[in-house]
Structure 1
C-alpha cells in the first residue's frame, strides 16, 4: 500500500483527530440555545425551557469526562498497538458515540453518547501530538504539532455553521442532523491513517527495524534507505531502545519518581492551565454570555465571529511559535487574557442588572446588560479569544511531548492530557451554576488563574523550542553550578536555541554549512561522508 512521506501531509491528516474535539465544542454551543433542543430535552413544568443549569452542565461535561478516561487508556493502547493504530481506534469509537448521540431519546442516552465520544477524543488528543512529535524534525516540530489546535479551531468553525444551518429545520432533525454528520471527519481520519507511516521509534521498540529504517528514509531522506543520515538516526534510536530494555517497563508510577516529577508536573499543569484560562468555557457557553449582553434571538451569528477569530489567530502561532519560543508565548498570553477577563468582570459588576422574570430562558443567564457596556463585554470576549488562539491554544499541545524521554513519552503525554480533560469536565459542569449563583465573579476567578499561571510559567517552565529532544532532557538533568536539584537549569535562564545564538556563543563554526541542514534533518553533501554507516 502507498505510504505518505511528506511530514506536512502526515500532520494534516492525523490532526483531524483534534478536529473531532472542535466538532463537539461547537455542536453543543450552537445547539443548546435552539428551540428544538430546549423543547425535546426540557425539564420542569414550563415548556421549551431546556435542561436545568446543573443538568446542562452535566450534559456538556459528559464529553470531557469520557475524554479523561480515554486519555489515560491511550497510553497503554499506544504503547502496545502503535501510535497509528490507537488513533484509528479513536476514530471508530467516535462513530459509535455519534450514532448514540444522534439517536438520543432522552437526556440519559445523550450523556452516554457524549461519554463515548469523549473517550475517542481523549485517545486522539493524547496520541496525535506524540505521533507527530516522533516523526517531525526539531525545526518544524512546534508548527506541526500546533496544527492540532488549528484543526480544533476549524472543527469548531465548520460544525458551528452546520449546526446554525440545521437550526432552521423543524423538529428534532435540527440537532440530530449535525450530531450525525460528526461521523464524517472520523471516517476520513480512519481512512487517511491507512496511508500514513507508523512512528519509527515505536517500530524500533517492537524490533521492526527494517520498517523503522524505511519510515525514517521516507520522511527525512526522500525514500533513500541507505542514507548515512538515516543510519545515524537509527543508531541513536537503537541506543535508546537498548537502554529501555535494560530497565523495567515504564508505568505511571515512574512519572512520579524524583527524577521525573518536575517534568511530569510541568506537562500536567500546561494542560490544566490551558483549561483554567476559561477558553473552553467561552466556547461552550458563549451563547449564554451574548444573550445576557442583549443579542437575544440573533445570538448564534455573533457567536460565530469568535470561532473565525480563533481560526485566523492560530495561524501566527503555526508560522512563528518555533521562533518565538514556548515561554514568551505562554507568558504574553496569560497577561492578555487576564486583562480582558478583569475588564469584563469590572463592566458586568458595574453595569449589569438582575434580569426580569422570564427575560431569559435559563437561570444560568443571570445578568442583563445593554448599550455601550454590553458592547464592551462582547469586544473583550473577542479579544480574549484572539489572545488565547496564538498562545496557550497551540502551545498546550506542543509543549508536553517535548518534555519527556522516549520510553515514558506515550504515558506521560496521556497523563498530561487526562488532566486537561479532568479540568474540562469540572469547568463544563461548574460554569452554568456559577453564572446562576456568583454571576460576574466568574470572570474574577479565571482572571486570578491567569495571574497564577504567569507566575508558574516564569519560574518553572523551561524553553524547549528548536532543541533536540535529547537536549531538552539535559535541561532537567543539569547538575552544573546554578542548577537546582531535581529541577535542573532554572527556567528563566533557558531560551530558544537557534543556530544564530549558538554561533554567538562560539559553539558552532560559521563556515560549517552542514549544521543548518542537520537542524532540518537534511544532511548536506559536504558532511555526508563524515556520518558513519551502520552494518
Structure 2
C-alpha cells in the first residue's frame, strides 16, 4: 500500500472513498482517492445492520445460546450493538478533534475488528454481547468521523454525491447480508451463523491497510495550525503535478484559513453557545444535525425491516423461505433507490428531498395502516389487503432509499462549523443510534399492543417532519463548508422559508461575494505580514 502515499487528484479521492464507500461515476482529478477508505468502513456498517437478524433465527445459534429464546434477552443481544455505537459517538464527540479524522477512523476500525473476532469465537452469551458492544463502539466512532472526513476533502460541487456514494456502500452491504441470510438458510450447523459474522473481517482487510497511508483532512490540519501540511494535502487533492504554490491551492487554503480565524476571533464560552449567544449559532446547527438523524430513525425503517419477513408470513401467507427471498429482493430495490439518490442529490437539493420524502413515505405508511385495519374487519379479504400492505412497504423502501436514507448523512456533514463539525457529527450520529435502539427495542411491544395503529403512528411522524424541514432547515447544496458559516452568521432567525438565499439550490451571489472578501482579506494580511504582495493574490481575486 506504500504507493498510496504518492497518489494525488482523482486516485487519492478514489482511495479515500473506497475505504469508506465503494463505487461511483468518473470524477475529475482531485476526487477519486478519498472515496475508498469511506467505502469499506460504511460497508461494514451496512453489513452489521443486516446480518444479525439472520443470525438470531439460526437453529445452531439458538442451540448454543438458548437464552435468546427469552424475548428480552433476544432484544438486548441485538440492540446492544446500538448502545455500543452510541458510546462510540460520544467518544468521537470528546476526542475526535484531538485525534483527527484519520486516526479516529483507525481507532473505530480496530474496535470493529476486535468485536467481530469476539463474536465469531463466542460459545457463551456474555462474550457475544461484549463483542457486539465493542463492535458497535467502533461503528459509532466511524459513522461519526467518516462523513466529516470525506466532506472536508471534497469539492462543494460533488460533495453531496461523494458522501452519498460512500453511504451507498452501506446499502450494498445491507443487501449482501440479506441475500447471504437467504442463501445460508439452506445449510444448518455453526456455519450458518459463524460464517456471516466472520465475513465482516473482509471489510477490515480492505479499509485498515488503505487508511494507514491516507492524508489527514486539510481543514483539520489548518484547525491545528499545520499550514504547510494542509497546503500539501490541498495540492494533492487538486491533481497530479499541482504544487502548494499554485494559485488555486492558495485560494482554497486562504478561504479556509480566514474562516477559521473568524471563528476563533468570535469564540464564545460554551454557556453562550448553549444560550444561542454565539454569532455562528453552533447549537442551532447541532440541533438541525441531530434532527435529521432523529427523522431518519422515526421514519420507521428499522421497525419495518425487523418485521417484514414476519408480515409476509402472517399477513400474506408466504412460507418462511419465500418471505426471506422477498425480503432480499426488497433490499435490492432499496439499493437501486439509493443509487438513484446519487443522480438527484445535487440536482434536487437536500431540502426538497426531505420535504418530498416526508410526504411520500408517510403516505405509504398511511395506506398500509388502512389496509391492515380493513384486513382486521374483513378476514375474507386478508390476502389481497395483505398484498397491498406489502406493496406499500416495498414502495416505502424505494422512496426512503433516495430521501431519508441518505440525505441526513450528507446534511449532517455540511451544516456545522469547522470548530464544531466533529462534535456535532458525533452528537448527530449518537442521536441516530440511540433512536435506533429505542425503535428496535420497543417495536415488538408496539406491534402487539397497537396493531395497525403502530404503522399509523409512523405516518403521523413523517407528515409532521414536513413543516419542520420547511420552516427551519436551510439548503446546503452547492455551498462550500465556509458558506454555511455565512448562512448562520448573517441570518440569525431560526425560520428560513422566507429567505430565498437559504432555500434555493443554486449558490447565492452573496456567498460568492463573501468568499471573494475572505480571499481579499487574507491577501491583505499576507501583505501586511511580509511587506510584499501575496503570491498570485491578484490572479486569485480575479478568478473569483
TM range (shorter): 0.7 to 0.9
How far did residue 388 of structure 1 move? 0.4
Q: Provide the residue aligned with 1:268 in structure 2.
A: 290
Select the residue among 307, 313, 318 that pairs with 1:291.
313
Select the residue among 499, 522, 540 that pairs with 1:531.
540
Report SS of the residue matched to 2:466: helix
Paired residues, number? 489
Select the residue among 304, 316, 319 that pairs with 1:282.
304
How far did residue 427 of structure 1 move? 0.7
Q: Provide the residue aligned with 1:307 in structure 2.
A: 331
Q: Provide the residue aligned with 2:394 in structure 1.
A: 382
Report SS of the residue matched to 1:214: helix
Report SS of the residue matched to 1:150: helix
Preserved CA contact (<8 Å) 2:299 2:461: yes
Structure 1: how far apart are the matches of 2:268 and 2:138?
26
Q: Provide the residue aligned with 2:416 in structure 1.
A: 404
Q: Provide the residue aligned with 2:358 in structure 1.
A: 334
Preserved CA contact (<8 Å) 2:276 2:284: no
Preserved CA contact (<8 Å) 1:15 1:128: no
Q: Provide the residue aligned with 2:524 in structure 1.
A: none
Preserved CA contact (<8 Å) 1:67 1:120: yes
RMSD of aligned Cα (Å): 2.8
Gaps of 5+ in 2: 11-30, 514-535
Preserved CA contact (<8 Å) 2:309 2:320: no
Select the residue among 36, 39, 44 that pairs with 1:20.
44
Q: Provide the residue aligned with 1:394 in structure 2.
A: 406
Structure 2: how far apart are the matches of 1:252 and 1:303?
49
Summarize the Cα distance change of 1:120–1:446 in structure 2 as closer, same or farther, 3 Å threshold.
same
Structure 2: how far apart are the matches of 1:275 and 1:426?
9
* 1:449 aligns to 2:461 (yes or no): yes
Structure 1: how far apart are the matches of 2:256 and 2:350?
26
Preserved CA contact (<8 Å) 1:403 1:472: yes
Q: How big is each residue's C-alpha offset from its partner over 1:20-66, in whole Å with a ceiling of 9 and x where there is no partner?
A: 221112112223333333444335xxxxxx52333322222111111
Summarize the Cα distance change of 1:27–1:492 in structure 2 as closer, same or farther, 3 Å threshold.
farther
Gaps of 5+ in 1: 44-49, 355-366, 480-484, 509-526
Matches within 5 A, 1:110-125: 110-125=128-143
Structure showing greater relative contact order (alpha-carbon pairs closer than 8 Å, 6 or more residues apart): 1
Q: Provide the residue aligned with 1:239 in structure 2.
A: 258
Preserved CA contact (<8 Å) 2:472 2:495: no
Report SS of the residue matched to 2:313: helix
Summarize the Cα distance change of 1:497–1:416 in structure 2 as closer, same or farther, 3 Å threshold.
same
Summarize the Cα distance change of 1:373–1:202 in structure 2 as closer, same or farther, 3 Å threshold.
same
Q: How big is each residue's C-alpha offset from its partner over 1:250-298, in whole Å with a ceiling of 9 and x where there is no partner?
A: 8698466443332221111111010000112223333222232322221
Select the residue among 417, 435, 458 that pairs with 2:470.
458
Report SS of the residue matched to 2:213: coil
Structure 1: how far apart are the matches of 2:254 and 2:89?
31
